[in-house]
Chain A
Amino acid sequence: MKKKIMVSLLSLSMVMGMLAGCAQGGSTSTAPAAQEEAPAKESKEEEAAPAEETAESGDDVTITFMASQDWIQDAEMELGEKFTEQTGIKVDYQIVPSDQYESLLMTKINAGECTDIFGGQSSQFSIVTQFDVEKNAVDLSGESWAGNVDPAAAVELSAGGKLYGQPIQDVSACWAVAYNISMFDELGLKIPTNYAEFCDVCEKIKAAGIIPIYECVSDGWHHVCWTEAAVAATQADASYPEKLNNNEATFAGNKELTTMFSQLKEMADKGYMGDNYMSNEYADAPASIASGEYAMVLYNQGLGAEVHAADPNFSEDNIGYFVNPLCDNQALNVNYCGPSRFIFSGSKNIDAAKKYLEFMASDESLAYMTENVGKFNQLPYSNAPSAYSEVVQDFYDRYPKKVAVFQASVKYYNPAWMDIGADMSAMFLGEMTPEEVLKDIDKLRAEQAAAASDPAWK
């Protein structure tokens, strides 16, 4: 008898659970449907409406936002909470390890099952060839904040004259060698101006029992930045990127690039990157510099604040910068491309996602991000505040020459980034030579070009 009562109770609870589940599903599914039916005119009116009014419509709507590790800052998630308070729209952040992000994102986009908002690298070439934004992303040209985006950054987010993305990060910052100023002073070191001097500096640091460079190959992308950071050295012929885009030149056989890759391998072999560069992680860079175990790291111009956050006794101004001296480079690399937010065209919550983007581009949000994210000195919006420190300003003033990186100027380079990273990792392990890596970059670009039916590759 007891058994029967138990079974009946269990069955009853299961049925109730199922009914509750169905009821919940019903309420959430109606919200996006109602939004879809709303005419465009109404959505424009909603934009102008105060936050209190929209709070009601946002009930039960959760927008999903997928991005690579380090693209979504804590400050953005804090703003996300404020956004939820104001609109009732919840934001589900899905942060994916950087070495796995690209494959996952492209699989989701190609399967038509992407998140409402997805993070992607901007580039006027790859947003078309890789993301096919005209098909997979929502046109944001008409949004209230679109006119505030820095024109140079907007170019990298536009296709066919329409804006498809919203910049997440400060694109004025560039990849440069960040160093511990007091450590350099103690060891009597000067900023190197060529590769030979750089090696001397590394030797002296190593002799002092400190690992010269913090490198993190395991993330899959960071070590590729070394080549981008010295890209000027490859462009004695300024038309080289254009020739690459027209399939009139190759990476293989480029003397400067071969030297650059060989020097990078040499740095690893000489122990300038320590023993653990293959397993180090990008996220640990500030703490590693703060600990004094490492002297330098290839980073953007926000490291000082991040090191200070990791160790409050470490002064923010104790981090200085110089350009990557591989191949004797002495020019700044500029890249108006950077991680950006795109709204997936197949999303059922397009209006809610647009509201989130509008919120993130507001004066208050941009000021909050600049104030709370160390590496954000000048977000690419006309309404964003500027926060360059003296050290950073001095760095920019020291190098007047600027050259655009391959990521921005060369077709099919950005989509191959992680594969190039894998090749370079094989080079560090001695499985590939610098010449083979360069040859493989040509092959990877040709595969992308063939898939995209690029006439220059036919």
Chain B
Amino acid sequence: MNRNKVYPRYFALGALIIYFVFFFLPGLIGVGYSFTDWSAYSDELHYVGFENFKTVFSSDENYMKIITNTLEFTLITTILKNVIGLVLALLLTKSIRFLNMHRGIVFMPSVLSTLIIGMIFKSILDPKSGLLNSFFRSVGLEMLAKKWLVSSELAFGSVMAVDIWRGVGYIMTILIAGILSISSDYYEAAAIDGAGGWKKFRYITFPLILPTLATTTVLNVIYGLKVFDMVYALTNGGPGKATTEVLYTAVFKKFGTGQYAVGTALSSVMFVIMIFVGIYMIRVMTKNEVVE
């Protein structure tokens, strides 16, 4: 190795300082505040130990349900976005008519504002006059007309479904790029050996797009853990006490009522979860990497 080709370490100093001051330090201060009684009602700040964390994990509170909701949202949307995105990507890399138009239509929801999508779907999913239920009633499928966003059984599923619809086009586009980068030589060789469509997917496409799938998984997991706007626009955490409440809508509400300390404690819990998820994912992703 030519040592002269390695840049000096101080080249990274600028980026490190910016990252430390604007990202790391505020995060650290936030964790510090979660051990105080910081609120909008008082200028004084007192150390309260683990009091806010006791509140977060107390059985009298809804916070554990909120944390579970967030993890459930992340898991389900990540899996379904990847699976549906992969199926769409496989379909839209074939020679079909109006290919780019199809790709464009599936991708379009990803470029729309999440809040606008939320508001549109709030109207579409209205149980009385919404487009979806009106359609079911008009074709004689009355029993499928449900209270999508206002029943405790269906609300969370409906929110996840809208989010999957919004995000699947983006994942599909990344996977299309991954599939198109696979050399056609592999498929030709497999065809000569008599491999069918399933075997080509199983032994060529899938293994070769695994790194791309890992990337989409990371993107989905980060998005899922940080989801806010979709839930905020569709249900604002309701119906009821915390049917669709996720961490960031809860933090937003705590800050809204001036209870900053509990809000930062919730964020800190999220921070720890994200660290564990992050470490695990980096390990999985770098498992088969060759170190030069």
Report chain B residues within 8 Å CB of A448. Answer: 41, 257
Report chain B residues within 8 Å CB of A423. Answer: 241
Report chain A residues within 8 Å CB of B256. Answer: 102-107, 110
Report chain A residues within 8 Å CB of B41. Answer: 129, 132, 448, 451-453
Report chain B residues within 8 Å CB of A187. Answer: none
Whether A415 lies near B257 (C-beta < 8 A) is yes
Whether B240 lies near A100 (C-beta < 8 A) is no
Checking B128, B239, B255 against A107 with a beta-carbon cut-off of 8 angstroms, the contacting residue is B255
Q: A279-B126, A279-B149, A451-B258 are in contact. Are A432 and B241 (CB under 8 A)?
A: yes
Q: A107 to B232, alpha carbons, bound, how many Å?
A: 15
Q: A275-B127, A453-B42 are in contact. Are A103 and B238 (CB under 8 A)?
A: no
CB of B238, distance to nearest CB on chain A (Å): 6
Chain A CB within 8 A of B40 CB = yes
Chain A CB within 8 A of B103 CB = no
Within 8 A of B (CB), among A211-225: 217-218, 220
Chain B CB within 8 A of A426 CB = yes
Whether B239 lies near A425 (C-beta < 8 A) is yes
Report chain B residues within 8 Å CB of A422. Answer: 237-238, 240-241
Whether B40 lies near A218 (C-beta < 8 A) is no
Whether B259 lies near A451 (C-beta < 8 A) is yes
Q: A228 to B42, alpha carbons, bound, how many Å?
A: 30
CB of A435, distance to nearest CB on chain B (Å): 14
Checking B232, B241, B257 against A106 with a beta-carbon cut-off of 8 angstroms, the contacting residue is B257
Chain A 417-434 interface mask (CB, 8 Å, partner B; 1/0): 000001101101101100
Report chain A residues within 8 Å CB of B150. Answer: 217-218, 278-279
Whether B238 lies near A276 (C-beta < 8 A) is no
CB of B122, distance to nearest CB on chain A (Å): 9
Chain B CB within 8 A of A447 CB = yes
Chain B CB within 8 A of A150 CB = no
Report chain A residues within 8 Å CB of B240. Answer: 422, 425-426, 428-429, 431-432
Report chain A residues within 8 Å CB of B149. Answer: 279
Chain B CB within 8 A of A99 CB = yes
Chain A CB within 8 A of B226 CB = no
Chain A 317-361 interface mask (CB, 8 Å, partner B; 1/0): 000000000000000000000000000000000000000000000
Whether B258 lies near A431 (C-beta < 8 A) is no
Chain A 130-168 interface mask (CB, 8 Å, partner B; 1/0): 101000000000000000000000000000000000000
Q: A106-B257, A426-B241 are in contact. Are A99 and B236 (CB under 8 A)?
A: yes
| Of B40, B147, B149, B260, most A-chain CB atoms within 10 Å | B40
Q: Write the chain B residue with the least CB distance to A453.
A: B42
Chain A CB within 8 A of B205 CB = no
Q: Write the chain B residue with the least CB distance to A105.
A: B256
Q: A2 to B232, alpha carbons, bound, how many Å?
A: 49
Q: A279 to B151, alpha carbons, bound, how many Å?
A: 10
CB of A188, distance to nearest CB on chain B (Å): 29
Report chain B residues within 8 Å CB of A103. Answer: 252-253, 255-257
Q: A431 to B41, alpha carbons, bound, how many Å?
A: 32
Chain A CB within 8 A of B152 CB = yes
Q: A432 to B253, alpha carbons, bound, how many Å?
A: 21
Report chain B residues within 8 Å CB of A279. Answer: 126-128, 147, 149-150
Q: A129-B41, A429-B152, A452-B41 are in contact. Are A106 and B258 (CB under 8 A)?
A: yes
Report chain B residues within 8 Å CB of A217. Answer: 150, 239
Whether B259 lies near A447 (C-beta < 8 A) is yes
Chain A CB within 8 A of B110 CB = no
Chain A CB within 8 A of B212 CB = no
Q: A218 to B237, alpha carbons, bound, how many Å?
A: 11
CB of A423, distance to nearest CB on chain B (Å): 6
Chain A CB within 8 A of B93 CB = no
Within 8 A of A (CB), among B213-255: 232, 236-241, 243, 252-253, 255
Q: A105 to B260, alpha carbons, bound, how many Å?
A: 15
Report chain A residues within 8 Å CB of B152. Answer: 429, 431
Chain A CB within 8 A of B134 CB = no
Report chain A residues within 8 Å CB of B258. Answer: 106, 110, 130, 451
CB of A346, distance to nearest CB on chain B (Å): 14
Whether B147 lies near A107 (C-beta < 8 A) is no
| Of A132, A448, A451, most B-chain CB atoms within 10 Å | A451
Whether B238 lies near A220 (C-beta < 8 A) is yes
Chain A 163-195 interface mask (CB, 8 Å, partner B; 1/0): 000000000000000000000000000000000
Report chain B residues within 8 Å CB of A429. Answer: 151-152, 239-240, 243
Q: Write the chain A residue with the least CB distance to B60.
A: A443
Q: A365 to B275, alpha carbons, bound, how many Å?
A: 58
Whether B239 lies near A278 (C-beta < 8 A) is yes
Chain A 252-283 interface mask (CB, 8 Å, partner B; 1/0): 00000000000000000000000110111000
For this complex, 7 residue pairs linking A to B, each with C-beta atoms less than 8 Å apart, are A103-B253, A103-B255, A105-B256, A279-B147, A425-B239, A425-B240, A451-B40
Chain B interface (Cβ within 8 Å of chain A)? 37, 39-42, 60, 126-128, 147, 149-152, 232, 236-241, 243, 252-253, 255-260
Top-8 shortest CB links A-B: A103-B256, A426-B240, A278-B150, A451-B39, A106-B256, A452-B41, A426-B241, A276-B128
Known: A422-B240, A451-B42. 15 other contacts (CB 8 A): A100-B236, A104-B256, A107-B255, A107-B256, A132-B40, A217-B150, A220-B238, A275-B147, A278-B239, A279-B149, A423-B241, A425-B240, A443-B60, A451-B37, A451-B41
